[in-house]
Amino acid sequence: MPHPAARQERPDFPWVRNYAPNVAWDITVPQQPLFAFLDKTAEKFPSRPAIHFGGQVYDFRTVHNLVERAAKGLQALGVKKGAKAGLFMPNCAYSVVMYYAILKAGATVVNYNPVYVDRDLIVQADDSETDIIVTIDAPPLLEKVKVLLEKTRIRKAVVCPVKQNLTATTKTLDLPAVSKPDAWLWFCDLISNTGKPEPVTINPDEDIAVLQYTGGTTGIPKGAMLTHKNLVANTIQIGQWYYNANDGEDSMIAVLPLFHVFAMTVVMNMSVMKGMELFIMPQFTVPELLELIKTQKPAYVAAVPTMYIAMANYDRIGEYDFSSIKFCLSGGAPLPADVKRVYEQRTKAKLVAEGYGLTECSPVVTCNPISPKARAGSIGLPIPGTIVEIISLEDGKTPLPAGERGEICCTGPQVMKGYYKNPQATAEVTRDGRLHTGDVGYIDEDGFVYIVDRVKDLILVGGYNVYPRHVEEVIYAHPAIEECIVAGVPDKLRGEAVHAWVKLRPGESVSVDTLRAWLHDKLSPIELPKKIHIRNEPLPKTAVGKLSKRDLLVQEGIQKR
């Protein structure tokens, strides 16, 4: 996608004047593969702790060595440039090692959400053309991988013993039987070599580093093709924003799932680039996160609003010392101003900076400055190298002046190459050289961006996208359902909650509990409706007979944020 800002030496954008000290709009994106960050950091800080997980500590020299051996092992399995390798695991040390190993082998990473049900996994595997998948030795995940081995083109699964040391040779359990020969391989066997991988020539502008799916499926999912340049650029952009981060000195907590694009870039890639210590949490609990902050004294925390809500409401939060934290970053969903205020007051944290991004932008587009100029309620300023424009909703191409509402559009080196095998969808969102985000907002005279509504109907549950149409399709599969509307309803804890309204077929009878039980293994936990409303009367419709979500929400007295 063209980047018009590249032609301007010193652009006079209003947001540049409000940047924090030492942050410049101009950036240089080196022509390098994404894994070069690890190569350089391991050379510069070989004995610096890189990963803390499960009571084990691994320095950058060790991580780099394991990445090289795993990459060579992948190449021996036929994984080469153009191949797709899936990562299917919760947060662990292997998340980092195998991510960079796949890249170093020349392949493309495909991140899979471990809470997805079989149906969604199969659709993503087929659409992405994944060749090999990496998982951990957790029986529920192994059973899902077994399904993928039997029902998709995936021919090989690498199993990592999550509770073992990365260099352990223990094989912790018997793996499920599958029809494909030699389908399973333990991580210790993958790295049973001492050589380096064959060098792979990477074109950063064209070669896909990560195929990141935008969320739950809607029939055919959309995989955003993020090139090496896209991800190198966004990592550098965030590194500029973290202007007070000292290379080889600071640390960060990885509490967000690393398979999510937010954590992948802002937490993992950024930490590797800056030589930070990364404390990986397998899952989020308030006591464990606060104890980690207390004992390890990290410089940075990145989380979604629901995590800040949970911490702000924790009755013992005043007992913990947050003085080591330079700032906290919030993304994935709108951060309520009251939550930000209460959290900062109760923790005495320096600042919670709210940002905004989307999968298609690797993901960060805007962020509040790390300075007193930050504005509550705003998603911040366009980050270095990025132009944000508000485009008319009437014609879809006219830029609007400050204060007027329209669609938020952006350009920048972090904008995706396109959607995988979906040129039509790519053309729809990349008109006139801009990425159309589908969000409605405005920019004030100082360059701060605000979101006021969403063009799309997606529901944000704790920072994760839930697609109503997908949930509706599953509900419609129940024989008693005649009509169905799924929508997001404001929720104090998770931002939004999934609600479903259904009308039963004449003569049919089903209870809410029975319907929820029927849906339980067909939807992921984040997609499962928090509340199901069974109505006797038909659901509201437009003049042409289409179900009207807007009219339904009006009837229910629900106001979307």
Please report, for the chain, the start and end positions of each structural domain, with discontinuous segments joined by +.
Answer: 35-50+60-201, 459-556
Q: Is the pTM of this model over 0.75?
A: yes
pLDDT digits (tens, 9 = 90+) for 98-131: 999 999 999 999 999 998 899 989 999 999 999 9
Other CB atoms within a 10 A radius of the CB of residue 215 amount to 20
Q: Where are the beta strands (DSSP E) in 444-548?
A: 449-454, 459-461, 464-466, 481-491, 495-504, 531-535
Render pLDDT for 359-406 as a digit per residue (tens, 0 to 9). Answer: 999 999 999 998 889 898 899 999 999 999 999 988 999 999 999 988
Fold of 459-556: GMP Synthetase; Chain A, domain 3 (3.30.300)
Residue 395 burial by Cβ neighbours in a 10 Å radius (0-12, 13-18, 19+): exposed
Distance CA 514, CA 503 (A): 15
Q: What percent of the chain has pLDDT over 70?
A: 94
From the CB of residue 476, how many other CB atoms can be counted at a distance below 10 Å? 13
Q: Please tell me whether the peptide bond between 423 and the residue prior to it is cis, using omega within 30 degrees of 0.
A: no
pLDDT digits (tens, 9 = 90+) for 280-311: 999 889 999 999 999 999 999 999 887 887 88
Provide the pLDDT confidence category of residue 544 given band limits of 50, 70 and 90.
Answer: very low
Residues with Cβ within 8 Å of residue 13, at least 6 apart in sequence: 25, 382, 387, 447
pLDDT of 218 higher than 80: no
Comparing CA positions, the residue from 426, 408, 358, 433 lying closest to residue 3 is 433
Alpha-carbon distance of 28 to 32, in angstroms, equals: 12
Does residue 220 surpass a pLDDT of 80? no
Q: Is the pLDDT of residue 262 over 60?
A: yes
For 72, 121, 476, the CA distances from 107, given in Å and listed in that order, are 12, 20, 38
- Give the pLDDT score at 243: 86
Task: Specify the CATH architecture of the domain 35-50+60-201.
Answer: 3-Layer(aba) Sandwich (3.40)
Please give the structure tokens belonging to residue 373: 């100029």
What pLDDT, on a 0 to 100 scale, did the predictor assign at position 378? 93
pLDDT band at 456 (very low <50, low <70, confident <90, very high): low
Domains 35-50+60-201 and 459-556 fall in the same CATH topology:
no
Q: Do residues 519 and 528 lie in contact, with contact meaning Cβ atoms separated by under 8 Å?
A: yes
